[in-house]
Amino acid sequence: MSKIVSIHSFRGGTGKSNTTANLAAQVALAGKRVGIVDTDIQSPGIHVLFGLDGVSMGHTLNEYLRGEVPIEEVAFNIGDHTGDVSGRVKLAGQALYLFPSSIKGSEISRVLKDGYDANKLNEGLQDMIKTLNLDYLFIDTHPGLNEETLLSISISDILILIMRPDNQDFQGTAVTVDIAKLLLVDHLHLLVNKALSRYDFGHLKAEIEGVFDTPVAAVLPLTEDMVENASGDIFSLAFPDHPWSKGIRQVVDTILKIG
């Protein structure tokens, strides 16, 4: 039974795309057939982590949603195009498909102007799972709680809400948690990212679980090493022994157990 895993955060800048890419890559590395959809059509970004640019990504989700191409023509198999960076190269031969959104200015403004059909997206996701026989489909959502996001949340089997340990994130995440519960998401997990090293992570996890009444899959540290990596690679593959990468694998274990 395939699972839809939405990775969401109420605010931008939580490291959502980066986390999605790392989780999906690790699940693929565990031998599962994995897809990643960038539904952040207004500001797509996950393709960069997989070394794609406007030319190499080929057809996009935008074209599929307008009914111009079938879904399989949008799928880009990372396992066949890893490039030679130290982390991504480990994905060679794995089934990891990216469904990129267009990064063309005209395409983005078209979506902003017209919106896109939420139901069509839903159909598309089912189409992806079926056509590519996926075990897991990861959705990198748009921050906030707009209609597309609510749709992504509602059709998720697993929802991972990323938050930083700061007040603005706490407030927005509290709202998102309640909405997700109202939408009856089966498996809701929080993921704390960019935690300052001065915090006691164990204590932080317990506090947040208490306040949100929701399990925290991991507390990931804020790390300068990540900034140096500058989005050019999949961090947890390139630096598997780093505390951040270990935290990511903890989340992956949680996801695989649900599957």
Partner 1 sequence: MTQEIYTLLKQSEWFSNLPDEVIHLLMERVKTHTVQPGEAIIQRGQQDDSVFMIQSGWVKVVIPEEGEEGEMVLNHVGPGEMVGELSLVDQRPRSASVIALSELSVLELTRRDFLEIMEQYPMMGLHMLITTSKRMRFVLTYLEQAVTWSHKIAEGDYSFLEEEQAAGGPGSVVDHSASDSARANRFLAAFFQMAQDVQKREAELKEQVKKLIIQIDSGKRDHEIEQIVGSDFFAKLKLETLQIREERDKSKKA
Binding site for partner 1 (CB under 8 A): 1, 122, 145, 147, 150-151, 154-155, 165-167, 170-171, 174-175, 178-179, 182-184, 198-200, 203-204, 207-208, 211
Q: How far is the CB of 163 from partner 1 (least distance, A)?
A: 11
φ, ψ of residue 134 to 5 degrees: the values are -80, 145
Could you give the maximum distance between any two Cα atoms of the chain, in Å? 51
Interstrand relation of 96-99 and 76-77 (parallel, antiparallel or unpaired): antiparallel
- State whether the Cα torsion 104-39-47-10 is positive or negative: positive
Closer by beta carbon to partner 1, 46 or else 65: 65
How far is 56 from 64, CA to CA, in rounded Å?
17
How far is 38 from 36, CA to CA, in rounded Å?
7
Q: How far is the CB of 252 from partner 1 (least distance, A)?
A: 23
Are 234 and 88 a contacting pair, CB within 8 Å? yes
Q: How far is the CB of 178 from partner 1 (least distance, A)?
A: 5
Question: Which string of b and e fits 17-35 if b means at least 16 CB within 10 Å?
Answer: bbbbbbbbbbbbbbebbbb
Closer by beta carbon to partner 1, 48 or else 150: 150
Closer by beta carbon to partner 1, 87 or else 221: 221
Q: How far is the CB of 170 from partner 1 (least distance, A)?
A: 5
Locate tokens 């899959």: which residue?
217
Q: How far is the CB of 164 from partner 1 (least distance, A)?
A: 10
Closer by beta carbon to partner 1, 73 or else 209: 209
Q: How far is the CB of 184 from partner 1 (least distance, A)?
A: 7
Q: Is 182 strand, coil or helix?
A: helix
Closer by beta carbon to partner 1, 88 or else 189: 189
Q: How far is the CB of 117 from partner 1 (least distance, A)?
A: 13
How far is 243 from 259, CA to CA, in rounded Å?
25
Closer by beta carbon to partner 1, 120 or else 203: 203
**Nearest alpha-carbon partner for 148 in 5, 18, 6:** 6
Closer by beta carbon to partner 1, 92 or else 211: 211
Contact residues for 180 (Cβ-Cβ < 8 A; gap 6+): 153, 159, 161, 188
